[in-house]
Structure 1
Amino acid sequence: MPNKKIAIVGARGIANYGGFETFVSELAPRLVEKGFEVYCTCERDTEMPPEYKGAKLIYFPFKMPENYQLRKIVEFFYDIYFGIICSFKYDIVYFLGFSANIFTVFPRILGKKSFVNMAGLEWERSKFSKNERMLLKFFFKLALIGSNYTIIDNKKLINHIDKKYHDKVVYISYGVNEIPEIKWEQKIIDYYTNTKVNPSAYWLAVARLQPDNNIETILEGYIKSNSNKPLIIIGNFSCEEDYEINIKTIINNWPDKKIILTGGIYNQKHLNMFRQHCFGYIHAHSIGGTNPSLLEALIMKNIIIANDNDFNREVAEDNVIYFNNDYDLSEKINSIEKDYFDYTKLSELSYKKAKTDFSWDNIVNNYKNLFLEIK
């Protein structure tokens, strides 16, 4: 059995809301089952358990600030701190993202192994300033140079990597779990929506409320459509206040349209209840690679309307409906509502695709083989 010590650096906790946090909560316990000793970085909090399903948890010495701009600065030092500490203590350091990847070479200097998960095209996210985007792209270049391997979760990401680094790029996808059927509980739904919503009678989107997730396009497309079904958007705002004001202004300008912002829902059972019982799902993410929320919609047998880009097509292939802009989205909404049963076969195909290609058990075996191969 393997006995290598692996540190996973970059998530803000484990089993928390967020892509990397969910990723770690799925990967780390499975690596422990394979015989690895796994350590996961976490933010300081009121409750700080020492372990999660066999994975050891290590905590940042300072609490994160509430202020968004200040938090971004502290998160940068969070990654640096753990990058250095873990390089001394563990055999493999696996960096999630690359905000502090000037230090990805540090484990190698000490004779350890360094891996980086590219995650996506962070430098293209419009929530960052021009200088921040330039810095993120520079950090990514450093990550490619400094690490032993860069892991991509979507094959189309290879098109954004200089060819001279392709020999150190490994594709291992994100995963998704099959969820047992969850009974509709009206009291729980009412708690989040503050209004009466019926099962299988609402459109749903789950996303962080930020520009590259095209929340405005979702709203404008829905508003332009003929739909009388409510639109529920689950997620928190994660950028400047001006963006939040703009989104709420769009909603307030159309009081006859039933648009509901629930905020983030951190109870997974409750979140999955919304997913399982929606009429249709709108996925507007535009920055690759593989978005967990798309996989979760696929496995829930949702009828999905997705932003038409290479990353979403790589994941969902022809098993979802694609849109290019708000007018296109409105037409797709109208078409599905008019001929709903013509589209139901797609939900079965998307489910089979997710179950076959994105099984966590297969994914952890890929990680196990990679971590054992490298000497």
Structure 2
Amino acid sequence: MKLSEKMAVKYSDIVIGDNKGITDYIKSKYSKTVKNKRVELIAYGGDQVSRVQDDSLFEKYPFCCEPYAVTVCRIEPENNVHVILEAFSKMPDESLIFVGNWEKSEYGRSLKKTFSVCKNILLLDPIYEPHTVNWLRSNARVYIHGHSAGGTNPSLVEAMNLSLPVLAFDCVYNRATTEEKCLYWKTSDDLQNLMKNENEKFAEIAREMGEAGKRLYSWEQIAHKYNKLY
């Protein structure tokens, strides 16, 4: 992968990074190679999602009748799944819905076995139907984002476009994506402390995320940036 990266930067005419953390890395790591090249930042759109109100789904997911936090991601260590679950296992009064591919790896199966016994944690298998996923996110009190790698994460810009209050893992990529306007955590203790914020603080973050999502992460804007390069 390092060789692929090096070749891509060396032989391309324009280098595109999907996050400021990526473009900064490229300019630093390959300073001589890109000295006379354009290095552009183009992220992803997230405005294909929309808030969903569907009372019929409360019958299928009665867990959602009370306030809850939500997370949707691949069950991988780099997404800090274990940290999120550990935090909520110590907060019996805070509910969490976690959607992911638990059976894909031993990591996921082990976590599912350990934390499925927690009454305040609901572990759901992957849901590929957008209406249901958007409903689960739309009705959440807060969105927990644990990704630590990968530049700009599509799931994060979708959450922002849904105007959700975001608690994100503290890394350069997430800070750049959210313009450092949400709340950040690294440990389970950090996350527990952030969950103690009042609804007013979460409402403020939700407004900030919604504004940034619409301003920065619309597909029309992303397409325009690519067209301009072409």
Partner of 1:297: 159
Query: Closer, same or farther in 2 for the Cα pair 1:170/1:200, shift >3 Å?
Result: farther
Equivalent residue letter for 1:208: R
1:250 counterpart = 2:114: yes
Q: Pick from 254, 263, 281 the counterpart of residue 125 of structure 2.
A: 263
Question: For the structure 1 residues 169 and 237, does the alpha-carbon distance in structure 2 shift closer, same or farther, using more than 3 Å as the test?
Answer: farther
Within-5 A mapping of 1:170-319: 170-177=40-47, 179-186=49-56, 188=57, 190-191=59-60, 193=61, 196-199=62-65, 201-225=67-91, 227-237=92-102, 241-252=105-116, 255-319=117-181
- Aligned residue type for 2:86: E
Shift of 1:361: 0.9
Which residues in structure 2 correspond to 1:103-142 (within 5 Å)?
Answer: 136-142=1-7
Code of the residue aligned with 2:78 in structure 1: it is D
Aligned pairs for 1:143-154 within 5 A? 143-154=8-19
Unpaired runs of at least 5, structure 1: 1-135
Q: Distance in 2 between matches of 1:163 and 1:237?
A: 41
Q: Secondary structure at the match of 1:305?
A: strand
Superposed CA offset, 1:31-65 (max 9, x none): xxxxxxxxxxxxxxxxxxxxxxxxxxxxxxxxxxx
Shift of 1:163: 1.2
Q: 1:275 to 1:297 in 2, by over 3 A?
A: same
Q: Aligned equivalents of 2:16 and 2:178: distance in 1?
A: 20
**Amino acid aligned to 2:136:** F
Give me the whole-angstrom Cα distance separating, in 2, the residues matched to 1:189 and 1:144. 49
Cα deviation for residue 238 of structure 1 reads: 8.1
CA contact (8 A) 2:88 2:121 kept: no
Quote how far apart the aligned CAs of 1:200 are: 6.0
1:16-27 equivalences in 2 (<5 Å):
none
Task: Write the distance in 2 (CA, Å) between the matches of 1:238 and 1:356.
Answer: 37
Q: Which residue number in structure 1 is paired with residue 24 of structure 2? A: 159
Amino acid at match of 2:74: R
Distance 1:168 1:238 in 2: 43
Paired residue secondary structure (1:160): helix
Distance 1:363 1:209 in 2: 28
Distance of aligned partners of 1:276 and 1:211 in 2 relative to their CA distance in 1, 3 Å threshold: same
Question: 1:193-220, CA deviations, whole angstroms, 9 ceiling, x for partnerless residues?
Answer: 5xx2234611100111111111001101
Describe the superposition over 1:292-316 as per-residue Cα deviations: whole angstroms up to 9, x where unpaired: 1111111112111100111111111
Structure 1: which amino acid aligns with 2:4?
F
Cα shift readout 1:182-203 (whole Å, capped 9, x = no counterpart): 21334x3554x5xx22346111
Structure 1 residue 141, shift from structure 2 partner: 1.4
Q: For the Cα contact (< 8 Å) 1:284–1:306, is it kept in 2?
A: yes
Query: Does the C-alpha gap of structure 1 residues 180 and 284 become closer, same or farther in structure 2, counting only changes over 3 Å?
Result: closer
> Is the 1:200–1:278 Cα contact (8 Å) retained in structure 2?
no
The structure with higher relative contact order (CA 8 Å, sep 6+) is 2
CA deviations on 1:261-282 (whole Å, 9 max, x unpaired) are: 2121111111111111001110
> Which residue does the alignment assign to 1:37?
none
Aligned-residue sequence identity (percent) comes to 29
Using structure 2 for the length normalisation, give the TM-score: 0.89
CA RMSD of the aligned region, Å? 2.0
Change (3 A) 1:181 1:211: closer
| Counterpart amino acid of residue 247 in structure 1 | L
CA distance in 1, matches of 2:224, 2:140: 33
Distance 1:200 1:368, change over 3 A: farther
Alpha-carbon separation, structure 2, partners of 1:231 and 1:277: 12
In the other structure, the counterpart of 1:43 is: none
Distance in 2 between residues matched to 1:212 and 1:180, nearest whole Å: 27
Segments of 5+ residues of structure 2 without an aligned counterpart are: none
- Bigger Cα Rg: 1
Mapped to 2, the partners of 1:331 and 1:274 lie a distance apart of 24
TM-score, with structure 1 as normaliser:
0.56
